[in-house]
Structure 1
Amino acid sequence: MKTKDPAKDTSYKSKKVISIGIVRELTGLSERQIRYYEERKLVFPERSKGGTRKYSFDDIESLMDIANKIEDGVQTYEIRQEMKKEKQQDYRSIRNKMLRGQLNARFGVQKGI
């Protein structure tokens, strides 16, 4: 379950435009379950000016993954910790790629040499 920065990802999958009712229909989860996962900081919908929750297709995929893990007996705390680790790994990977690029640019290293 990957988390993405919506400001940087313009993919349709990351756009928060889906109402909780549609999410409920697509996932089979109750609105209460969806809100509970939000309360447990496992999913982060945006809010419209009127306060309506808006989800993305990425959120729906995350909700399905969360529901499957909970069904398998995994606690929400463990899921949140796993999400934090994945996010840290993503940041490390991006940072390492940036550093490699800077070093390659600085020292003229060509790819494939």
Structure 2
Amino acid sequence: MSYKTKKVMPIGIVSELTGLSPRQIRYYEERKLIFPERSEGGTRKYSFLDVERLMYIAEKMEDGLQTYEIRRMEKQKNQEELRREMLRGQLNAAFRQRT
């Protein structure tokens, strides 16, 4: 597991790093834009990738986008990445058959 993906930071630290209030961060979680883990005591834990994502979300919100638009953009981006991976796999399989 990469240090970027390990969820270890509490919401207060994430708030300081991003400039977002804890309420804003919780709101983005409610809107299914960010997915923190929970400790046994229920404390939210975030990763460095979560911090980067929160900063991206905040930038898009400042640009005037709504949360549902950001979620839709992310879904489209993920679908495009999946298509590229599938195509890459098909090309690799076809290339291997010829050699």
Letter aligned with residue 99 of structure 1: Q
Q: Which residue of 1 aligns with 2:49?
A: 58
Q: Which residue of 2 aligns with 1:100?
A: 91
Please show how residues 18-57 of structure 1 align to structure 2 within 5 Å: 18-57=9-48
> SS of the residue aligned with 2:7?
coil
- Matched residue pairs, number? 99
Structure 1 residue runs of 5 or longer lacking an equivalent are 1-9, 109-113
Displaced runs of 4+ in structure 1, greater than 4 A? none
Q: Deviations over 1:26-63 (max 9, x none)?
A: 01111100000011011111112222111111111110
Structure 2 length as normaliser, TM-score? 0.92
Letter aligned with residue 57 of structure 1: F
CA-atom RMSD, angstroms?
A: 1.1
Distance 2:42 2:32 in 1: 18
How far residue 99 of structure 1 moved from its aligned partner, in angstroms, is: 1.6
How far residue 107 of structure 1 moved from its aligned partner, in angstroms, is: 2.1
Over the matched positions of the two proteins, sequence identity in percent amounts to 60
Structure 1 length as normaliser, TM-score? 0.81
